[in-house]
Amino acid sequence: MRIIPAIDIIEGKCVRLSKGDYTTKKVYNENPLEVAKQFEAHGIEYLHLVDLDGAKSKHIVNHKVLEQIASKTNLKIDFGGGLKTEKDLHIAFESGASQITGGSIAVKDKSSFIGWLQKYGPNKIILGADAQNEKVAVSGWLEESEEDLIPFIQMYQREGAQFIICTDISKDGMLEGPSFALYKKIIDATDHDKEGNKAKNEIKLIASGGISTFDELPRLAAIGCEGTIIGKAIYENRIGLQQLENYILNK
């Protein structure tokens, strides 16, 4: 299972929120590049970079932070937050993103998101399926849609999506543990097609939200998660970077 630390950006600074609520903002570091270099120094290869200003503004904002981290580290960065147009994608990839995550657009403009999957390929485009009570949430979690989470993921699986980041918003930033049952439910529901045959297009589920202790990581791996995003647990020293380095080395 891949270990993917998160850096969330507001006004160029590394922050964390609780349950996506912007009023709970806590600044952890004024310099995201410094944080990214710490991750890389501990053998971490991946980074989940979220443009929270972009999510609110509905277009890419903090691409300079992305460019700085991409040009000064070897981290493979998945970048999300407010990506709505081909121009946003072009800026993100030109700035050094290895992958981009589309969330709100996958709900509100399905044809565009399917077009991205076809144009850039499923290795470049991640489906952001963030949920509250198993309903997909959009616009930086400021809105709940009418989309049921699992049918939503299954529909995009049929369209070729492979990488799925699923955040249970009720867990995000709360340090109370992730939604093991929800992730198992998603993996069980996407393992086979409607006829009961093994799915040709197996999804790679990335768990996000609520990670609080190191012991939760092997449990997520056992369920079948392909990766896990860790945020506040690192910044609050609940999980040490040395622990993560050892985990990566011993895989």
Contact 42, 75 (CB under 8 A): no
> Active-site residue 168, yes or no?
no
- Among residues 53, 130, 168, 172, which one is catalytic? 130
- In this structure, are residues 155 and 6 in contact, taking their beta carbons and an 8 Å threshold? no
CA 157 to chain centre: 17
- Taking the CA atoms of residue 161, residue 165, residue 170 and residue 171 in that order, the dihedral angle to the nearest 10 degrees is 150
Q: What is the C-alpha separation between 149 and 54, in angstroms, rounded?
A: 23
**The Cα angle at residue 163 between residues 245 and 127, in degrees rounded to 5:** 120
Enter the tokens of residue 164: 């799925």
Residues with Cβ within 8 Å of 199's Cβ and at least 6 positions away in sequence, in order, are 157, 190, 191, 192, 193
Amino acid letter for position 121: G
Q: Side chain identity at 7, as an amino acid letter?
A: I
Assigned token pair, 118: 């076809």
Q: Name which of 112, 145, 115 is nearest 130 in CA terms.
A: 145
Task: Give the 3-state secondary structure of 5-55.
Answer: EEEEEECCEEEEEECCEEEEEEEEECCHHHHHHHHHHCCCCEEEEEEHHHH
Active-site residue, selected from the candidate residues 8, 88, 168, 172: 8
8 included as an active-site residue: yes
Catalytic residues: 8, 130
